[in-house]
Each structure stands twice: as C-alpha cells, then as structure tokens.
C-alpha cells in the first residue's frame, strides 16, 4: 500500500498538514473525508476519528497534524522552515501546541456562537484578538512570524488565523491588525496554500 492521507478540505489541522507535505514534496493518496460520514477504513486505523490521519506504506499511522508535519520536515526542508537552533525549533513546537490548547478553544466558542449569548462568546473572541495582537506586533518588525522568511510557525498558525477571520470577515478587516491582515492575505493568495485547497470528492472504498 502506498502512503495515504485522510483529510478534510477546510479543517485547519488538515490544511497545515497538506501545506507541509506539499512543501516537502511528499506524495500520497488523498482521501477526502466527510466528517459526518467518516469511513470505516479511517476509523480502523485511528479510532479517535479526527483528521488528518496518515497511513504510511509500512502501515504505521500518524494521526496528529504536528506529528505528520514533524515527519515531513524530517524528510525534506528545502527552504529551511526549521533551519533554526534546536531551542528555537523546540519553541516552535511548543507554540503550536499552545495554539491548539488556547487559541483554538476560544476560536471555537466564537465560531459556534449562534447558540450562545453575547456575554458567552465575546470574551473568547477578545482572548483570540489579544493573541493575534501579539502576532501583529511580531509582523510589524519582520515579514514572517519567526524571521524575514517563512517558517514552520507561519504555516502552523495560518489556517487558524484564516478560520478566525472567516467567522466575521468585515469585522476582522476593521481590526487594527494591518500587519497580520497583510501577512494573511499574502499566504492565502500564495501558490502553496492554493495548491492544497482544491476540492476533492468524498472518498469511498473501491
């Protein structure tokens, strides 16, 4: 069996995984998942039922985006996304884990606000904005989040900032985050992002 990736087009974890795999030149069979109708084949190899899931040719499984990204960059890192001292690399991974723990939970409260009162979703929204302000401050000093060039940190954050911006695009555009907004636009119109956002039909066995 060749390498297989179970993915969902709009999932931020899957987006950053696909971007990293494309960047590293890793070939795989793309299997698009409908999250309400998860294929039994995916659940068999990863019972937790979230994407992305990568099944390697030796049948080993990676079912966390960070794990897949780590593996892909260990195979190929042509532009030096991780070309930093080890302590900075370690900090990148720690920052991405904090993103999942802190930013994503608050983002979800804001994104799924239709069943919440305003006093319930506004504080999580403001916590997200506070974190984005920190990114904006970085980008006021340099072109990308870690330095003047794209790094793992940019790709790790990008789909989550995109998701936050899409909840209320007009409101997001009104925020005083000009450096972050320009950074986001530059990535979303870039070849790498566009190359992994093609629509795929839902995969079915056979």
Task: Please provide the average confidence, as pLDDT, over all residues in the chain.
Answer: 95
Domains of the chain: 4-79 (3.40.30.10), 86-190 (1.20.1050.10)
Q: Read off the pLDDT of residues 23-72 as tens digits, 9 standing for 90 and up.
A: 999 999 999 999 899 999 999 999 999 999 999 999 999 999 999 999 99
This prediction's pTM = 0.95
Q: What is the number of residues in the chain? A: 206
- Please report which helix (H) or strand (E) contains residue 29, including its range: strand 29-32
Q: Read off the pLDDT of residues 91-123 as tens digits, 9 standing for 90 and up.
A: 999 999 889 889 999 999 999 887 777 778 999
Secondary structure class of 55 (helix, strand, coil): strand
List alpha helices for the chain, DSSP H: 12-24, 40-45, 65-75, 86-98, 104-111, 118-139, 152-167, 169-174, 178-188, 191-195
Q: What is the mean pLDDT of residues 152-180?
A: 97
Peptide bond into 107 cis (omega under 30): no
Distances, alpha carbon 83 to alpha carbons 57, 73, 79, in Å: 28, 10, 8
- Residue 112's pLDDT is 86
């Amino acid at each position: 069996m060749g390498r297989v990736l179970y993915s969902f087009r709009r999932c931020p974890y899957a987006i950053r995984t696909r971007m990293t795999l494309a960047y590293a030149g890793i070939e795989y069979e793309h299997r698009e998942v409908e999250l309400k109708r998860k294929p039994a084949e995916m659940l068999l190899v990863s019972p937790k039922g979230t994407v992305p899931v990568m099944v390697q040719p030796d049948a080993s499984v990676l079912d966390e985006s960070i794990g897949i990204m780590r593996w892909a960059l260990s195979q190929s890192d042509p532009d030096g996304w991780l070309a930093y001292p080890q302590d900075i690399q370690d900090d990148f991974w720690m920052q991405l884990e904090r993103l999942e723990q802190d930013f994503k939970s608050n983002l979800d409260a804001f994104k799924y606000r239709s069943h919440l009162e305003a006093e319930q979703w506004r504080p999580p929204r403001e916590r997200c904005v506070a974190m984005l302000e920190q990114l904006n401050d970085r980008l006021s000093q340099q072109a990308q989040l870690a330095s003047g060039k794209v790094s793992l940190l940019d790709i790790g954050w990008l789909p989550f900032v995109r998701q936050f911006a899409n909840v209320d695009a007009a409101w997001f555009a009104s925020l005083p985050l000009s450096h972050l907004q320009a950074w986001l636009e530059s990535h979303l119109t870039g070849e790498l992002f566009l190359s992994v956002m093609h629509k795929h039909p839902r995969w079915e066995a056979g």
